[in-house]
Amino acid sequence: MGQVTIHGPSGELKQWSIYEELTADLGVQTNHAAEQLLKRTLKKIAPDLLRRIDFDTEGDGVVVFAAAETDIRAVAKILDEMLKPQP
């Protein structure tokens, strides 16, 4: 999907996931700040989606988990929009 890579379930991991380092692209200092920005965006435009996903952000990347492929693809689409250069 666009700039965001989606990882399907494999091995012991039964969920779909996104793992991205987003600090520079989102103009924030930490990936935890990037997670908070993503959560605020989702709360505004897709609150139901926000309730169906989980975060496990690390220092080197924002991690999003979803049980459904459609949910992780929706998150990726929103992230792609957030990562587009602003005029």
Partners of residue 18 on adjacent β-strands: 6, 64
**Quick one: pLDDT band at residue 2, thresholds 50, 70, 90?**
low
Mean pLDDT over 49-76 rounds to: 96
Residue type, 20: E
Q: How does pLDDT run across 9-26, given as a tens digit for each residue?
A: 999 989 999 999 999 999
pLDDT of residue 85: 77
Residue ranges per domain, the chain?
6-83
Average pLDDT of the chain, as a whole number: 94
Q: 3-state class of 86 per DSSP? A: coil
